[in-house]
Amino acid sequence: MTGPAGRRDAEGRYDVPLTVAEPGADPARANGHRPAAAADEPDPAVTDEPVAAGSAHPAATEEPAGGAHAGREPAPPGPAVPDRPGDHWDRKVAAGLAFLRRRLSGDYEVDEFGFDPQLTEAVFHPVLRLLYRDWFRTEVTGIEHVPAEGAGLVVGNHSGAVALDALILSAALHDQHPAHRFLRLLGADLVFRMPVVSELARKSGGTVACNPDAERLLGGGELVGVFPEGFKGVGKLYSERYKLQRFGRGGFVSAALRTGTPIVPVAIVGGEEIYPMLADIKPLARLLKLPYFPVTPTFPWLGPLGMVPLPSKWLIEFCPPIPTAHLTDSADDPLVVFNLADQVRETIQQTLHKLLERRPDPFGP
C-alpha cells in the first residue's frame, strides 16, 4: 500500500541535493541542466507534456557537442517525446548515473556519527524493503506512537541469531512513518570491531551503544533504537522464543531520563523464527571470539544457503510512549531507572503475547 508511494517520496527526497549546487560548483554546473531536469520531473508528473519536453531539451543541447551527426538527427530526442515509458527509463538512467557520479566525486554529506542518509535511502533501504515487505510480509501497527519530530527512544525485543530485526525495524519505520524518520540504532561494540560490518553500521546511522553517544543523538532530536537484551536476546535458543531476557543495567533508561526523551516500547514478532537456534556450540564460539555459535535446521549444514532467513510472518507494534520529561532529575536514582526499565520490559512482553495470539501460524500469510 504505502510501498510505491513511499518509494516515490523517497526518490523525490534524494533528488533534492541535486538542485542544491554544491561548493564543488563548476563541474557540477557544467552538466547541471540534467540533474535540474531530473529533479523537476517528479512534480510536473501531473502535466505530462512539459515533462517530456523538459527531459528532451538537455539531450538536444548536448547533441551538437556530441559530433557531426547532430545535424541530421533530431531523432534521439524525438522518440522520447511521444513515448511515455521510454521517457521514464531515460529519467531513471539519468538519475542513476547522476547518483553514481555524486558518489564517486564524494559529493555527499556524512554526519559526525558517520551516517550517510543518501546511501541509506538509495541502497540499504531498497534491499531491506524487499526483505521486510515481500519476504516477511511485515505488518506495522501503532506507528502513530512514534513522535513525528524531536527525540524518541525506541526500545525493542531482540531475536534471530543475527540482528536482522534491528535493520527491519529501521527500514519499516522509515517507510511507514509519515515523517519518514531515520532510526539511529545503537549496536554492540562487536559490530564495530568487525571490518565491513562496522562501516555499514555507521553509514546506515548506527553507533556504539554507550551513554555519551545515546545522549548526544537524543540531545540532537534524533530517533534512537536500542535493544537492551543485547546478545542475550539474539543468542537465545528457539525454545526460549519470545521470552524477554534481562535488560542489563538500564543504561538506555538513564540516557532517556537525562535528555527527557519519551520511551517508545516496540514488540517485534517474527524475528525468532527466521533462524530457529537449536543449539549453541560454546567452544566454537569461544574459539571465534563470538558471543555464541548458532546451529539452526539449515546452518551450518547447508553452508551459505543456511543463511537465508526462513520466511516467517512479522508483526511490529509500537506501544504508547512513556514520558520521562518529569523525571529528568532522577537519572542517577537507580530505583527510578530499574522501575522504568521493568515497566518497559513488561509492556514489551505483554504486547508480544498479544501479537502472538494474533498470529497463530508463524509462517502464515
Partner 1 sequence: MTPGGTPGAPGVVVVTGVGRYLGAHVAARLAADPRIERVIGIDPPGSGAELTELLDRVERIQVDLGSLGGLLADLDVDAVVHLALVSAPDPQHGGRAAMKEQNVIGTMQLLAACQRASRLRKLVIRSSTAAYGASFRDPAVFTEETEPREVPRGGFGRDILDIEGYVRGFRRRRTDVTATVLRFAPFIGSTADTTLTRYFSQPLVPTVFGRDPRLQFLHFDDALEVLHRSIVEDHPGTYNVAGPGVLSLSQAIRRAGRVAVPVLEPGLSGAAALARTLGFGRIGLDQVDLFVHGRVVDTSRLEREYAFTPRSTATAFDDFIRAHHGGAVVTREQLAAAERLVLDGIRQVRSTVRERS
d(CA 217, CA 144): 21
- Least Å distance, CB 233 to partner 1, is 20
For partner 1, which is the closer residue by CB, 107 or 280? 107
For partner 1, which is the closer residue by CB, 177 or 184? 184
Binding partner 1 (rule: CB under 8 A), the pick from 71, 195, 303, 364 is 195
Q: Does 24 bind partner 1 (CB under 8 A)?
A: yes
Q: Does 78 bind partner 1 (CB under 8 A)?
A: yes
d(CA 341, CA 51): 55
Q: Which strand ranges, in their side-by-side order, compose the sheet holding 152-156?
A: 139-141, 315-318, 263-269, 152-156, 223-226, 183-187, 207-208
Q: Does 210 bind partner 1 (CB under 8 A)?
A: yes
Count of positions on this chain that bind partner 1 (CB under 8 A): 56
Q: From residue 94 to residue 113, what is the string marking binding to partner 1 with x (rule CB under 8 A)?
A: x--xx-xx-xxxxxx-xxxx
Asked if 58 and 36 count as a contact pair (C-beta separation under 8 A), the reply is: no
Piece of the chain touching partner 1 by CB under 8 A; list 22-30, 42-50, 124-132, 340-348:
22-30
d(CA 12, CA 329): 43
In which residue are the cell numbers 505483554 written? 350
- Least Å distance, CB 167 to partner 1, is 18
- Least Å distance, CB 30 to partner 1, is 6
For residue 251, the SS3 value is helix
Q: Does 189 bind partner 1 (CB under 8 A)?
A: yes
Q: DSSP secondary structure string, 29-59?
A: HHTTHHHHHHHHTTGGGGSHHHHHHHHHHHH
For partner 1, which is the closer residue by CB, 87 or 317? 87
Q: Does 236 bind partner 1 (CB under 8 A)?
A: no
d(CA 184, CA 182): 6
For partner 1, which is the closer residue by CB, 66 or 320? 66
For partner 1, which is the closer residue by CB, 69 or 246? 69
- Least Å distance, CB 77 to partner 1, is 8
For the four alpha carbons of 270, 242, 248 and 154, in that order, the dihedral sign comes to: positive
The residue type of 363 is: F
- Least Å distance, CB 211 to partner 1, is 8
**DSSP classification of residue 275:** S
- In the numeric block, which cell numbers belong to residue 185? 540504532
In which residue are the cell numbers 510536473 written? 44
Q: Does 75 bind partner 1 (CB under 8 A)?
A: yes
Q: Does 196 bind partner 1 (CB under 8 A)?
A: yes
Binding partner 1 (rule: CB under 8 A), the pick from 202, 241, 258, 345 is 202
Pairing of strands 279-280, 152-156: unpaired
- What Å distances lie between residue 44 and 53, 55, 122, 161, CA to CA? 11, 12, 22, 47
Piece of the chain touching partner 1 by CB under 8 A; list 57-65, 120-128, 252-260, 332-340:
57-65
- In the numeric block, which cell numbers belong to residue 199? 562501516
The residue type of 233 is: G
Asked if 204 and 183 count as a contact pair (C-beta separation under 8 A), the reply is: no
Strand partners, 268: 316
Q: From residue 31 to residue 50, what is the string marking binding to partner 1 with x (rule CB under 8 A)?
A: x--x----------------
Binding partner 1 (rule: CB under 8 A), the pick from 192, 231, 238, 242 is 192
- Least Å distance, CB 111 to partner 1, is 7
Residues lying near partner 1 in the complex (CB under 8 A): 23-24, 26-28, 30-31, 34, 59, 62-63, 66, 75-76, 78-80, 83, 86, 89-90, 93-94, 97-98, 100-101, 103-108, 110-114, 116, 189, 192-199, 202-203, 207-208, 210, 212-213, 216
